[in-house]
Amino acid sequence: MLAKARSDVIARRAALTAPTGFLPRLLLCSGLPRASLLTMIDRLGKMGDGSSEKDAVFNKLLVPSAASEWDIGRLGQRREVARKLLGRLSAYLRLNDVSVDKDKSTISTTFLEWLSQECSSNEKSKKPRHKQKTKSTAVDMAKLSEFSSILKTIDVPNEVKAEDYRRIAFDDELDIFLPVKVPDNTEKLKMRDKIKHSIEQTQPDVLEPLLTQVLDKDAQLRPKDKDLHLLDIAVFVMKTFLNLETIQHSITRIILAYVPRLSQISGNPELWQQLFSSQQDERNEVLDLLLCRCAASWHPHHIASCYEWLISIGKTMSPKYCVARITRYLVVASGQQSVHIEGFSTKITLDCIKSWGMSEEFASSTLAFAFEGMKQATSVGSWPGLLSRNGMPDWFILLLLLAKCGRVQMKFVGEALLQRIAQPSNDLSLPLLRAVFLRLYVSNPQGMNLGTALIRNVLMEAGQEYAVSWLVWRSPLDDQIEDMLDTVMSGAGQRLIRPLADLSKKHPLLMLRKCHLLTQFLETDGTVPDFGTKDNRGVVQGQSLTGPLNAIRHGKMVRVNVRHWGFRYTEYIWVALLDIICAGECHKFVSRWAVTLKLLSSRTLFAHYFLRFVFQFPFRFSLGVA
């Protein structure tokens, strides 16, 4: 009774709680709702799946001794019970419009398949050969049309041959056939012709159902039966689309939606060549967008194989590929954290690309793509995004991601940049390379080896050139420095003065970016508060030389102490900030820095002086050696 309940929940629970031995009995009942029907079929199927001998398990359910306990009288032998059960299930499937292949992913159909095989084999062994001949295929085909409601969810070719179908059910009143063969090549060719025609004739209402049909058909196949049909279709669609004289937005929309799905599992060089090909018109924008969608939907293994292919073509750097799109893809699909995220783990999250940036070949190819992207992006003379806080160009993000993989990679990138700085070309100008180098340092200061005089000189010159821009760039040490300064200013972190001075020694350029903050702290500390503070440790108080002034307030004479800014200050804070800035013995290397002063423009003169002034401190030993 409960299995026949109108509520799906109750019916399903009833089907779940019924004893296994009674499931076939329940399936023979009339009026079962869809929920309990599918649940029972699923339970039986899983029972077979979980057993190594599913024939024995299923036979045991249908033997007369088991059926005798069902309390519905004599049903006959096991074969007869199986046939009746199959007939009933076929009717249920038809009534509930259930497709076995379509619902295979949600329920286990093992029991149904076993039942159909069982009945089929029984029939073959039972009927004499001459009788089998009398049951012609024409009859089967006639019956096939009767059950269109069952088969309508399955793609049946118009001209179907009888041998393409396997009988899965056999009953006195009911025969059901399901296709078991994958459509042959002729069908594929027909499908391609339709797709090509719909793209060329701009028929989105035809193209979309066709591609949906292809995807649905593939979803019905077992994993082992799937071939590269979808990938072939994806390649074919891309080829046809790119060969169009003019592209239509209606077709573009379908391409953007379906190509990532068609190529989700796997790809091949033919597909990648088209996706990364350099196009002339707005196809470039479509391909850019398409690739981003592909990177978001592709299977990790597909992404990894595409990566390998890109690395292989990075050596030759053919002009037929769009480098900007390649760098975009390498960044988007890298699986790495954002370059602005700093955490305990900076490892790559994507399992299949664990070797990202770890091999020399990978680093070389990535670097080649990044430099090529740099050339192309800056060929017009402007450097979009490079000097601004946000919106860094893809080629720079790629460089940064590679540099963040480790010290070796950072050294590799740094040396490549220094090599180009030493021999600048027309494509890559010296100011551009310096800006890249400085931003690389600001973005990843811990990774750069500042022990080399050449690196320090390049950084100083770059800092002099971009004294304004670089203040807005992000650095992972910014927050750390500001937090430490806040603690020192609060009076609770005198122990942090030494680490701050060390940090200033190590990264003076970054500390110099905080000068405005230091000044702000000093101004605040020198301001006399409205009301006296309780904690006056280390505070130097002062009074006017003229002493308190006399004033009349409410008719009474009072003495007023006038206190301006600077009358009080916390000595250790001022000394500490000076220590932080002057962290080093600067007087030893003064003459070295004054050599190039005359080369400077007046605009950047002050910035240059102070950059050099502060920058010299930490490098006194190595400079002395040099």
Partner 1 sequence: MGFLDFLNANVRLVFVQSQIRRTERDFRLRDKLKELFATFRKTSPAGWEKWMASKDHGLGSLGEMRNVMICCDFLDPKEIVKIERT
Could you tell me which stretch among 31-39, 104-112, 132-140, 592-600 binds partner 1 (CB under 8 A)?
592-600
387 is a site residue for partner 1 (CB under 8 A): no
- Which residue in the set 355, 518, 620, 623 belongs to the binding site for partner 1 (CB under 8 A)? 518
Residue type at 321? Y
Could you tell me which stretch among 49-57, 133-141, 407-415, 574-582 binds partner 1 (CB under 8 A)?
574-582
Least separation in angstroms between CB 520 and partner 1: 9
- Which residue in the set 362, 383, 569, 619 belongs to the binding site for partner 1 (CB under 8 A)? 569
User: What is the C-alpha separation between 500 and 495, in angstroms, rounded?
Assistant: 9
- Which residue in the set 594, 603, 621, 626 belongs to the binding site for partner 1 (CB under 8 A)? 594
Q: Is the Cα dihedral 73, 76, 77, 78 positive or negative?
A: negative
Farthest CA pair distance, the chain = 135
- Which residue in the set 72, 162, 597, 626 belongs to the binding site for partner 1 (CB under 8 A)? 597
Residue 106 makes CB contacts below 8 A (sequence gap 6+) with 38
| Comparison of 242 and 518: residue with beta carbon closer to partner 1 | 518
| Comparison of 446 and 565: residue with beta carbon closer to partner 1 | 565
- Which residue in the set 160, 358, 387, 515 belongs to the binding site for partner 1 (CB under 8 A)? 515
User: If we measure between CA atoms, which residue out of 27, 31, 6 comes closest to residue 18?
Assistant: 27
Least separation in angstroms between CB 587 and partner 1: 5
* Residue whose tokens read 């027309």: 426
Write each residue from 221 to 250 as x if it is in contact with partner 1 (CB under 8 A), else as -, in one continuous string: ------------------------------
Least separation in angstroms between CB 576 and partner 1: 10
Phi, psi at 343, each rounded to 5°: -145, -175
| Comparison of 95 and 597: residue with beta carbon closer to partner 1 | 597
- Which residue in the set 22, 70, 309, 613 belongs to the binding site for partner 1 (CB under 8 A)? 613
Tell which positions 390-429 bind partner 1, by CB under 8 A.
none
Residue 68 makes CB contacts below 8 A (sequence gap 6+) with 74
Would you tell me how many other CB atoms lie within 10 Å of the CB of residue 328? 22
Residue 530 makes CB contacts below 8 A (sequence gap 6+) with none
- The alpha carbon of residue 519 and the mean position of all alpha carbons in its chain are separated, in whole angstroms, by 43
User: What is the C-alpha separation between 502 and 508, in angstroms, rounded?
Assistant: 9
309 and 330 in contact (C-beta within 8 Å)? no
Least separation in angstroms between CB 519 and partner 1: 4
Least separation in angstroms between CB 467 and partner 1: 6
| Comparison of 256 and 582: residue with beta carbon closer to partner 1 | 582
| Comparison of 56 and 597: residue with beta carbon closer to partner 1 | 597
Structure tokens at 88: 């009933």
The footprint of partner 1 on this chain (CB under 8 A) covers a number of residues equal to: 49
User: What is the C-alpha separation between 94 and 524, in angstroms, rounded?
Assistant: 83
Paired with 559 in beta bridges are 550
| Comparison of 203 and 596: residue with beta carbon closer to partner 1 | 596
- Which residue in the set 22, 70, 309, 574 belongs to the binding site for partner 1 (CB under 8 A)? 574
User: What is the C-alpha separation between 285 and 276, in angstroms, rounded?
Assistant: 11
Least separation in angstroms between CB 366 and partner 1: 34
Would you tell me how many other CB atoms lie within 10 Å of the CB of residue 494? 13
Tell which positions 464-483 bind partner 1, by CB under 8 A.
467, 471
Least separation in angstroms between CB 429 and partner 1: 24
521 and 623 in contact (C-beta within 8 Å)? no
616 is a site residue for partner 1 (CB under 8 A): yes
Pairing of strands 556-560, 549-553: antiparallel
User: If we measure between CA atoms, which residue out of 183, 266, 276 comes closest to residue 231?
Assistant: 266
- Which residue in the set 50, 384, 451, 566 belongs to the binding site for partner 1 (CB under 8 A)? 566
587 is a site residue for partner 1 (CB under 8 A): yes
User: What is the C-alpha separation between 322 and 316, in angstroms, rounded?
Assistant: 13
- Which residue in the set 248, 609, 620, 623 belongs to the binding site for partner 1 (CB under 8 A)? 609
442 and 466 in contact (C-beta within 8 Å)? no
User: If we measure between CA atoms, which residue out of 480, 416, 407 comes closest to residue 450?
Assistant: 407
Tell which positions 39-68 bind partner 1, by CB under 8 A.
none
- Which residue in the set 336, 512, 618, 619 belongs to the binding site for partner 1 (CB under 8 A)? 512
| Comparison of 57 and 582: residue with beta carbon closer to partner 1 | 582
Structure tokens at 499: 């680490």
Least separation in angstroms between CB 565 and partner 1: 7
46 and 108 in contact (C-beta within 8 Å)? yes
528 is a site residue for partner 1 (CB under 8 A): no
User: What is the C-alpha separation between 198 and 251, in angstroms, rounded?
Assistant: 9
186 is a site residue for partner 1 (CB under 8 A): no
- Which residue in the set 41, 330, 368, 611 belongs to the binding site for partner 1 (CB under 8 A)? 611
Alpha-carbon Rg of the chain, whole angstroms?
A: 39
Pairing of strands 175-179, 165-170: antiparallel
Least separation in angstroms between CB 351 and partner 1: 45
442 is a site residue for partner 1 (CB under 8 A): no
519 is a site residue for partner 1 (CB under 8 A): yes
User: What is the C-alpha separation between 423 and 430, in angstroms, rounded?
Assistant: 9
295 and 289 in contact (C-beta within 8 Å)? no
242 and 198 in contact (C-beta within 8 Å)? no
541 is a site residue for partner 1 (CB under 8 A): yes
User: What is the C-alpha separation between 305 and 325, in angstroms, rounded?
Assistant: 17
Would you tell me how many other CB atoms lie within 10 Å of the CB of residue 2? 14
User: If we measure between CA atoms, which residue out of 469, 465, 570 comes closest to residue 513?
Assistant: 469
| Comparison of 421 and 489: residue with beta carbon closer to partner 1 | 489
| Comparison of 418 and 586: residue with beta carbon closer to partner 1 | 586
Could you tell me which stretch among 32-40, 265-273, 331-339, 566-574 binds partner 1 (CB under 8 A)?
566-574
- Which residue in the set 540, 549, 558, 626 belongs to the binding site for partner 1 (CB under 8 A)? 540
Could you tell me which stretch among 80-88, 185-193, 341-349, 535-543 binds partner 1 (CB under 8 A)?
535-543
Q: Which residues bind partner 1 (CB under 8 A)?
A: 467, 471, 512-513, 515-519, 522-523, 526, 540-545, 564-567, 569, 571, 574-575, 577-579, 581-582, 586-587, 590-591, 593-594, 597, 605-614, 616
